[in-house]
């Protein structure tokens, strides 16, 4: 089984090198997608690339988290990998959990293995701001109700994806609402989904989403719109109740 760890990066100059060194201890296959960082991260990545050993995609213009995820799947497919493992680079995802994802992948039970920060809080470090936890909880509950899932953390970016399976998904959401589209597409395609616990680490309560999404009301409405529009698009392939009350949602 071949796997690659893909790390989307945007303005992570303080943490990127330490994270990459720790990831390198667990895998020889690393791809960093630098989304047009402006804080010196781009040059730092070029400076340490040969020393640490990783592939690098450097964007000239910011394209968004969702686009980075789509490119992660494309890179995994083109590279002949069986699994893509994604994680953040802000030291809130611990590389030490990578072997756990690999072990679960080797069982062959799932197409998507999603990290959950809320399956176990015994060794949590910090806590998310109230608005972020509330949005996560409410959106996760609605995803479960509409799609027949039993997720505890629909937003965690620490995941493992079977490349052959995600190849079938129609993914177009480029921004932070990417998980909303992804879960609907995964259910519509019949993917098997499982969760494993990862440690909750929340050290940056002021991280910006950009594009007006720092307003919790705007962010929640945006997430729901992407979720509902994707459900409507895939209604014929979803459980019957999924789109029963979404006729009034304006979609492109």
The DSSP code sequence of 32-45 is EEE---SSSHHHHH
Is-contact 69 8, C-beta < 8 A? yes
How many C-beta atoms surround the C-beta of residue 213 within 10 A?
17
Q: How far is CA 44 from CA 2, 137, 217, in A?
A: 28, 36, 36
Give 207-219 pLDDT, tens digit per residue.
777 778 889 899 9
For residue 204, pLDDT beyond 70: no
Q: How far is CA 89 from CA 12, 13, 194, 246, in A?
A: 7, 10, 23, 36
**CATH number (domain holding residue 157):** 3.90.550.10
How many C-beta atoms surround the C-beta of residue 15 within 10 A?
17
pTM: 0.93
β-strand pairing of 112-116 with 3-9: unpaired
| Count of H-run helices and E-run strands, the chain | 8, 7
Helix (H, G, I), strand (E, B) or coil at 139: helix
Tell me whether residue 214 is in a domain: no
Structure tokens at 77: 């497919």
Tell me whether residue 217 is in a domain: no
Tell me whether residue 235 is in a domain: no
Is-contact 41 107, C-beta < 8 A? no
Vertex 9 angle, CA 212 and 11, to 5°: 65
Tell me whether residue 161 is in a domain: yes
Tell me whether residue 222 is in a domain: no
Give 72-91 pLDDT, tens digit per residue.
999 999 999 999 999 999 88
Residue 202, pLDDT score: 76
Tell me whether residue 31 is in a domain: yes
DSSP 8-class letter at 142: H
* % pLDDT > 90, the chain: 78
Number of structural domains in the chain: 1
Q: Which helix H or strand E contains 57, and what residues bound it? A: strand 55-58
Tell me whether residue 157 is in a domain: yes
Tell me whether residue 67 is in a domain: yes
Domain span holding position 76:
3-129+151-208
Tell me the β-bridge partners of 252. Answer: none
């Amino acid at each position: 089984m071949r796997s690659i760890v893909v790390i989307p990066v945007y303005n992570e100059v303080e943490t990127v090198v330490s994270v990459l060194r720790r990831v390198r201890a667990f895998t020889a296959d690393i791809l960093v997608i630098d989304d047009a960082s402006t804080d010196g991260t781009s040059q730092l990545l070029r400076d340490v690339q040969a020393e640490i050993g990783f592939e690098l995609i450097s964007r000239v213009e910011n394209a968004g988290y969702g686009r980075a995820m789509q490119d992660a799947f494309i890179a995994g497919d083109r590279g002949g990998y069986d699994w893509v493992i994604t994680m953040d680079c802000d030291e809130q995802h611990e590389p030490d959990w990578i072997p756990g994802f690999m072990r679960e992948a080797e069982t062959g039970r799932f197409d998507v293995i999603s990290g959950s920060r809320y399956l176990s809080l015994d060794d949590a470090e910090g806590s998310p701001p109230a608005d972020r936890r509330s949005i996560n909880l409410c959106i996760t509950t609605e995803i479960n109700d509409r799609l027949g899932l039993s997720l505890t953390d629909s937003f965690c970016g620490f995941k493992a994806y079977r490349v052959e399976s995600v190849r079938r998904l129609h993914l177009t959401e480029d921004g932070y609402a990417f998980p909303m589209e992804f879960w609907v597409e995964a259910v519509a395609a019949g993917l098997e989904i499982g969760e494993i616990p990862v440690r909750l680490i929340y050290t940056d309560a002021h991280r910006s989403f950009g594009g007006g999404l720092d307003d919790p009301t705007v962010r929640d409405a945006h997430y729901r719109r992407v979720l509902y529009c994707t459900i409507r698009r895939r209604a014929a392939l979803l459980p019957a109740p999924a789109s029963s009350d979404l006729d009034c949602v304006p979609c492109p």
